Amino acid sequence: MALATHSAIEAVWRIESARIIAGLARMTRDVGLAEELAQDALVAALEKWPASGVPDNPGAWLMAAAKNRALDHFRHNKLVEAKHEEIGRESEEGFTPDFDARLIENEEDHIGDDLLRLVFTACHPVLSTEARAALTLRLLCGLTTDEIARAFLVPEPTVAQRIVRAKRTLAEARVPFEVPRGDELAARLASVLEVIYLVFNEGYSATAGDDWMRPALCEDALRLGRILAELAPQEPEVHGLLALMEIQASRLRARTGPSGEPILLMDQDRARWDHLHVRRGLAALGRDQEHDLKAGGALGPYTLQAAIGACHARARTPAETDWKRIVALYDALAQLLPSPVVELNRAVAVSMAFGPAEGLALVDALASEAALRGYHLLPSVRGDFLEKLGRFDEARGEFERAASLTRNAREIRLLLDRAAALHPGLRVVK
């Protein structure tokens, strides 16, 4: 019973923590303090719910507990009167002075909701790009430092230090908890887009745990992306990112089998793709941007990636995929955003367009890249090329190495199954 309750608490926390932290941040104007107060509420739930049971509305319970701790904090520091005066001033600017209303306000009612404010606060220019992304993943998605470290391909202690320093820096700089406007909004969009796509990717392909995907994170990222598209309708990269996420989200239902096992892109039943997401993605990509692509115009990295996704979305079968066009798009992306990960993806496209030997040569050239050391997809991709070339023993070793580097249980099983299928006597002659 206690184990089931703890599992329920963990699930509730994943869903509600961002909203609670965001509401508290608007109340306290301190994201570090807001997270501490939210964690206090979580501790209270862990202490009380095993005995009393999970409440009917666990999110509201956690929010109320966190709010009470915030009020206790203000009383302890003799700040209640000052906070009421501040909130009274805010009410003249359109904020609601009642604590409860401020904390449970429907975030869908307006563009500048608490979650979006939290994104922009965590992505403030006073922080480094790495710190902005790490802090937002922590505050808005409830990811552990280990999960964030794997997303960034850096050591866990480095991420932990970034988060601590980022919260301290925001507090010392008295960063306002608000959505920027005008020129400041445009200047800060790039870091926000980066963070939102990192959130989406963690949902699309979970770094750890028993599930290959966390669709709720994809939904959070899509929601924030759609809000940003309304906030900045003239920013092409906002629509490029939204298009990319919509197209990738269209595959979610087809990416797992009946038992939750991963299904790779080329093996997916495309009838299960969500064509509403596809249409939204192609609409966000836009005819003007498509024209620019054909004319060789300069486009941003998210728009280029969305165009790659559109090539897959338009192909009714894997055989109809325009791989040469995808290679050309990766060429442009590599010029704009040089990265070992981009080169690894480009190698996959090259192998599909020109054969696995061509792809293998590119992957072998990436073996010395420090950023890919410990990155499980490097040996996984190499194993795929080797298998297609009939070098089964080498391929088996690469799949086993890839399995040892990933922390996702579903992906480990997939890689070990691929390795096992290559043992002598189990190979299927084609």
| Residue 61 within any structural domain of the chain | yes
> Residue 86 — pLDDT band, cuts 50, 70, 90?
low
Domain count, the chain: 2
Average pLDDT over residues 11-25: 85
- The whole-angstrom separation of Cα 217 and Cα 204 is 8
What pLDDT is stored for residue 37 in this prediction? Answer: 93
| Residue 181 within any structural domain of the chain | no
Supply the mean pLDDT for the chain: 85
* CA-based end-to-end distance of the chain: 52
- Residue 421 is classified by DSSP as T
- The whole-angstrom separation of Cα 159 and Cα 269 is 38
Vertex 15: Cα angle to 199 and 94 (nearest 5):
85
Vertex 256: Cα angle to 250 and 261 (nearest 5):
160
| Of 124 and 186, the one with more pLDDT | 124
Domain of 63? Answer: 1-105
> Residue 216 — pLDDT band, cuts 50, 70, 90?
confident
| Residue 115 within any structural domain of the chain | no
> Residue 427 — pLDDT band, cuts 50, 70, 90?
low
| Range in 156-170, 188-202, 233-247, 382-396 with the lowest mean pLDDT | 188-202
207: Cβ contacts below 8 Å, ≥ 6 apart: 147, 150, 151, 407, 408
| Of 207 and 152, the one with more pLDDT | 207
Contact status, residue 121 vs residue 169, Cβ threshold 8 Å: no
Give residue 10's Cα distance to chain centre: 19
Give residue 245's Cα distance to chain centre: 10
> Residue 99 — pLDDT band, cuts 50, 70, 90?
very low
| Of 324 and 289, the one with more pLDDT | 324
Q: Work out the percent of the chain whose per-residue pLDDT is above 90.
A: 47
Domain finish residue from 105, 132, 162:
105
Average pLDDT over residues 391-420: 95
- The whole-angstrom separation of Cα 279 and Cα 257 is 24
| Residue 110 within any structural domain of the chain | no
Average pLDDT over residues 396-416: 95
| Residue 329 within any structural domain of the chain | no
Domain finish residue from 78, 105, 132:
105
Beta-bridge partner residues of 407: 208
- The whole-angstrom separation of Cα 170 and Cα 342 is 32
Q: Work out the percent of the chain whose per-residue pLDDT is above 70.
A: 86
| Residue 250 within any structural domain of the chain | no
Tokens 């792809």 belong to 359
Q: What's the one-letter identity of residue 148?
A: I
Domain finish residue from 76, 105, 134:
105
Q: What is the pLDDT of residues 383-399, one digit of tens each?
A: 999 999 999 999 999 99
pTM of the model: 0.73
| Residue 265 within any structural domain of the chain | no
| Residue 44 within any structural domain of the chain | yes
What pLDDT is stored for residue 428 in this prediction? Answer: 52
Q: What is the pLDDT of residues 319-339, one digit of tens each?
A: 999 999 999 999 999 999 999
